[in-house]
């Protein structure tokens, strides 16, 4: 059990009743730290990830995006038996899903997750030395969500998300070069260097942003789904947002309209359990997000966001419902961000033990270990994937650094007059 007020908030949040499919999330009540040592030793892929950015980042606590809340809490108790059961269950569930899928697809999914991880580590480095300015919200820990869900889309389907958008942009098909150049504010960026981290955009690949207003993208997605239906295009919209956006009126108005008008929109709540420095339990009266769909008679699902194949399967069902029946779905994906809210977050509101517990469930590590166990990849192939991802990430930095600054006259283009 956790042992102070803020920790109790967290505990209350994670032991809420789950639907049968969600058993994996129930194990959040135990600490995995004993597993930490054995599991990180198993993988080269994530072993290098765990320490690098966490230790090198120096948060700017004077930044307006800096978050301060509850002070750090103590260690949590450990129940090795529950930890083993939890790990075993997660392992078995994903291995069953692996059996149903084409090995090359599985490898592609792993490659994409690793690429996004390495890309963001490079972005963090560049931010730390002042080459990237402004806001920068990393997605590290949540990669299974965008990669798993976007993998079931057609290229002409739409994706729209919040400011935590680097992973979604890459998954939807914007090149890492263009995403990195956008982070650098350079002309080669996908928004010509005028948007920065929070405003990735590409009409070519139907990626409609990158939005800084919490929940602002939800009514936009609803409108895009309306347009798709109105034009009989059978294109679906994946709309991502954090759990804090669920408290916005725009979320409720959008779900009501989407169900009423039968729109092909899939609302994906990436519940990483914190809105800046505030835990979900302190901000939401009824924290079962997927249940909120009941108020609108909408289909809903809850899924473990650390299992890429579970996310993929759930989204596949929702896409079918949207494409074939013009019906929306609310999906709650339980996930966790390993880094601060943004690069300026000193992270005083959660313990190292809590972060470590979730790092043990790293979606890349779970998937890598399972693919190895099922003989889909071996160490040599994994090394190849890792090397390739690092090369692409390094190349994106070169591209961004050599890309020209936007022309001064660009200050007066693409603005409302």
Ligand X SMILES: Cc1ncc(C[n+]2csc(CCOP(=O)(O)OP(=O)(O)O)c2C)c(N)n1
Among Mg ion, ligand X, none, partner that 245 touches (CB below 5 to 8 angstroms by kind): ligand X
Answer whether 364's CB lies under 8 Å from 117's CB.
yes
Among ligand X, Mg ion, none, partner that 305 touches (CB below 5 to 8 angstroms by kind): none
Give the dihedral sign, CA 397/402/404/405: positive
Count of chain residues binding Mg ion (CB under 5 A): 4
Q: Which window, 223-231, 236-244, 284-292, 306-314, contacts ligand X (CB under 6 A)? A: 236-244
- Give the residue, chosen from 242, 264, 340, 347, that forms a contact with Mg ion under the rule CB under 5 A: 242
Q: Which residues of 138-151 are buried (b: 16+ CB within 10 A; e: fewer)?
A: bbbbbbbbbbbbbb
Q: In degrees rounded to 5, what are phi and psi of residue 303?
A: -145, 150
Q: Residue 362: name the closest of 128, 35, 18 by CA.
A: 35
Enter the tokens of residue 401: 């650094």
- Give the residue, chosen from 47, 134, 173, 212, that forms a contact with ligand X under the rule CB under 6 A: 212
Query: Can you tell me which residue has the tokens 């993988």?
Result: 43
Answer whether 389's CB lies under 8 Å from 118's CB.
yes
Among Mg ion, ligand X, none, partner that 341 touches (CB below 5 to 8 angstroms by kind): ligand X
Whole-number Å distance between alpha carbons of 276 and 341: 5
**Nearest distance from residue 211's CB to ligand X, in Å?**
9
The gap between the terminal CA atoms of the chain, to the nearest Å, is: 57
Nearer to ligand X, 118 or 341 (CB): 341
Answer whether 277's CB lies under 8 Å from 245's CB.
no
**Nearest distance from residue 272's CB to Mg ion, in Å?**
4
Enter the tokens of residue 131: 């080459």
Looking only at residues 338 through 357 of this chain, which bind ligand X when binding is defined by CB under 6 A? 341
State yes or no: residue 53 binds Mg ion (CB under 5 A).
no
Whole-number Å distance between alpha carbons of 82 and 30: 7
Whole-number Å distance between alpha carbons of 219 and 201: 17
State yes or no: residue 340 binds Mg ion (CB under 5 A).
no
Looking only at residues 257 through 276 of this chain, which bind ligand X when binding is defined by CB under 6 A? 272, 274-276
**Nearest distance from residue 72's CB to ligand X, in Å?**
19
Q: In degrees rounded to 5, what are phi and psi of residue 180?
A: -65, -40
Whole-number Å distance between alpha carbons of 208 and 228: 14
Answer whether 236's CB lies under 8 Å from 157's CB.
yes
Pairing of strands 274-275, 278-279: antiparallel
Q: Which window, 92-100, 176-184, 243-251, 310-318, contacts ligand X (CB under 6 A)? A: 243-251
Residues 6+ apart with CB under 8 A from 252: 292, 295, 296
Among Mg ion, ligand X, none, partner that 212 touches (CB below 5 to 8 angstroms by kind): ligand X
State yes or no: residue 162 binds Mg ion (CB under 5 A).
no
Q: Which window, 84-92, 241-249, 346-354, 377-385, contacts ligand X (CB under 6 A)? A: 241-249
State yes or no: residue 335 binds Mg ion (CB under 5 A).
no
Enter the tokens of residue 383: 């090394």
Q: Which window, 109-117, 215-223, 273-281, 292-300, contacts Mg ion (CB under 5 A)? A: 273-281
**Nearest distance from residue 209's CB to Mg ion, in Å?**
18
**Nearest distance from residue 214's CB to ligand X, in Å?**
4
State yes or no: residue 164 binds ligand X (CB under 6 A).
yes
- Give the residue, chosen from 243, 332, 354, 362, that forms a contact with ligand X under the rule CB under 6 A: 243
Among ligand X, Mg ion, none, partner that 140 touches (CB below 5 to 8 angstroms by kind): none
Contacting residues toward Mg ion, per CB under 5 A: 242-243, 272, 275
Contacting residues toward ligand X, per CB under 6 A: 162, 164, 212-214, 242-245, 272, 274-276, 341
């Amino acid at each position: 059990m956790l042992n102070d007020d803020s920790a109790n908030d967290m505990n209350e949040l994670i032991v809420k009743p789950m639907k049968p499919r969600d058993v994996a999330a129930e194990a959040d009540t135990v600490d995995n730290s004993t597993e930490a040592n054995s599991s990180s030793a198993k993988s080269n892929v994530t072993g290098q990830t765990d320490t690098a950015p966490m230790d090198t980042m120096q948060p700017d606590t004077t930044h307006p995006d800096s978050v301060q809340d509850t002070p750090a809490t103590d260690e949590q108790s450990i129940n090795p038996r529950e930890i083993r059961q939890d790990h075993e269950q997660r392992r078995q569930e994903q291995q069953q899903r692996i059996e149903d899928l084409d090995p090359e697809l599985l490898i592609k999914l792993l490659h994409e997750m690793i690429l996004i991880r390495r890309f963001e580590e490079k972005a963090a480095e560049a931010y730390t030395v002042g080459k990237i300015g402004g806001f920068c919200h990393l997605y590290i820990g949540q990669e299974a969500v965008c990669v798993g869900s976007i993998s079931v889309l057609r290229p002409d389907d739409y994706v729209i998300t919040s400011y935590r958008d680097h992973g979604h942009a890459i998954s939807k098909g914007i090149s890492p070069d263009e995403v990195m150049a956008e982070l650098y504010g350079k002309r080669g960026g996908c928004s010509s260097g005028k948007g920065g981290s929070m405003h990735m955009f590409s009409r070519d690949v139907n990626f409609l942003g990158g939005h800084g207003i919490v929940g602002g993208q939800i009514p936009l997605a609803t409108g895009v789904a309306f347009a798709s239906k109105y034009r009989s295009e059978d294109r679906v919209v994946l709309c991502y947002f954090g759990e804090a956006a669920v408290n916005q009126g725009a979320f409720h108005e959008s779900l009501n309209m989407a169900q009423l008008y039968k729109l092909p929109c899939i609302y994906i709540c990436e519940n990483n359990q914190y809105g800046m420095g505030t835990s979900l339990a302190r901000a939401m009266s009824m924290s079962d997000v997927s249940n909120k769909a009941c108020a609108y008679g909408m289909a809903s699902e809850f899924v473990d966001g650390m299992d890429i194949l579970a996310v993929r399967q759930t989204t596949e069902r929702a896409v079918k419902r949207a494409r074939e029946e013009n019906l929306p779905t609310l999906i709650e994906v339980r996930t966790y961000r390993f880094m601060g809210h943004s690069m300026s977050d000193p992270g005083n509101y959660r313990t190292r033990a809590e972060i470590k517990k979730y790092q043990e469930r790293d979606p890349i590590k779970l998937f890598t270990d399972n693919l190895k166990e099922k003989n889909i990849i071996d160490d040599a192939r994994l090394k190849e994937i890792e090397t390739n991802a690092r090369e692409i990430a390094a190349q994106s930095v070169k591209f961004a650094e050599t890309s020209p600054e936007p022309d001064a006259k660009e200050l007066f283009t693409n603005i409302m007059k």
